[in-house]
Amino acid sequence: MNTYEIPKKGRVAVLTGEKKIEIFEKDIPEINDDEVLVKVEQVGICGTDVHEYKGDPFGYIPIQLGHEGTGEIVKIGKNVTKDYYGKPLAVGDKVVTGLKPCGHCDTCKYDPEHIHLCENGEIFGLIPGEEAINNMNGWYGDYIKINAGGVIFNVSDMDEDLRTLIEPAAVVVHAVEQAKSVFNFKHNSYVLVQGCGPIGLLLLTVVRTMGVRNIIAVDGNEQRLDMAKKLGAAYTVNFMTEDAIARVKEITGKGADMAFQCTGSPKAASTMWKYVARGGSMCELGFFVDNGETTYNPHLDICNKEIKATGSWTYQAKDWVHAMECLKEAQESGLPVAELLTHKFPLEKINEAMETNISMAGLKIVIDPRL
């Protein structure tokens, strides 16, 4: 059995004001019999972290952010023996975390498959349930404490770069599952992905692993469109240099059969309807925060086309398992999904990392507190 010498103190990076993350050195909390202490290896910066960094739309300041993390168990409560799906857990195992449902609401009691809709649920490092600075409840730090009831997965069979992508991959797996309620994916379907940030690029990767050949990537950044090609897009459309709506119709002859809206832009959300063919479908997954209203033409965009639409919100526990398998499949089939991780920063440069994300200089920006 692995044993670790755990220091008395560790660093936490706490958002204390708009565009202001401070590093504190705090006592590493003791864990009880139902908790797990994890040494952080890597954590990705999510677009939602950036929204919180820029303007605190949820009113959480002060908060220790970071929810796309992975690390190694260094201490485990005696009652924690298995992960969420029954895989054994022990000191030394590599893990990721998801939701922490409340366990008491009607959703938790009567509809556990949909715990992501729990009204009182938490997400470690995003929707906090404890005071931020002293509890190490986010991944931006040296250690994270996984509280009782937290969803945890043993992912020791995956390398750390791939593990860092599991959480955002679970987001897109859930979106694809939602899309299946309004669309029957076929190998020759024209599937459009609008927005080629990490979420959009992971989404088209998942769709490609399903055997869909005709994937259309729409973005205004050539670097991101080049990455979309590497990950399986058959066509790329740059809305900054061409009439994107006309180009999509030229490619498809009619419009996209299925479209995913992955940006947080209300203007893009409005344009999305124009890409979809008559009888087609769409899934909106770009808005975890309220970025404002959008417009569409009810006659031309919906009624006349008989478009079927659905939304997607975070993920279910089972989506994490599917996400792990999709990432493995992508890697084994030669899709360079790990290349999404373009920049790695030490913890003390986390503000610089946030600004790098805002500037769109890379794709997935990562914090590695070991650097």
Tokens of 353: 């990392």
What pLDDT is stored for residue 149 in this prediction?
86
What pLDDT is stored for residue 316 in this prediction?
87
What pLDDT is stored for residue 294 in this prediction?
92
| Rg, Å, the chain Cα set | 21
Record the pTM.
Answer: 0.93
List domains and CATH numbers for the chain: 9-157+337-367 (3.90.180.10), 169-311 (3.40.50.720)
Q: Point out the least confidently predicted range of 53-57, 128-132, 232-236, 354-358.
A: 128-132
Give the phi and the psi of residue 17 in degrees, each rounded to 5. -170, 175
H or E element that contains 219: strand 214-219
The residue assigned the tokens 């058959």 is 234
Strands 36-44 and 143-146: antiparallel
- Give the residue, 287 or 201, on which the prediction is more confident: 201
Asked if residues 98 and 317 have their Cβ atoms less than 8 Å apart, the reply is: yes
Looking at the DSSP assignment, which residues form a beta bridge with residue 82? Answer: 88
Cα 83 to the center of its chain, rounded Å? 20
Helix (H, G, I), strand (E, B) or coil at 158: coil
Q: Is the pLDDT of residue 273 over 70?
A: yes
Summarize the confidence of residues 99-124 as an average pLDDT: 80
What pLDDT is stored for residue 1 in this prediction?
56
Summarize the confidence of residues 176-185 as an average pLDDT: 97
Summarize the confidence of residues 13-29 as an average pLDDT: 95
Please count the other Cβ atoms lying within 10 Å of the Cβ belonging to residue 342.
15
What pLDDT is stored for residue 19 in this prediction?
95
Cα 236 to the center of its chain, rounded Å? 23
Q: What percent of the chain has pLDDT over 90?
A: 80
Summarize the confidence of residues 229-249 as an average pLDDT: 98
What pLDDT is stored for residue 132 in this prediction?
65
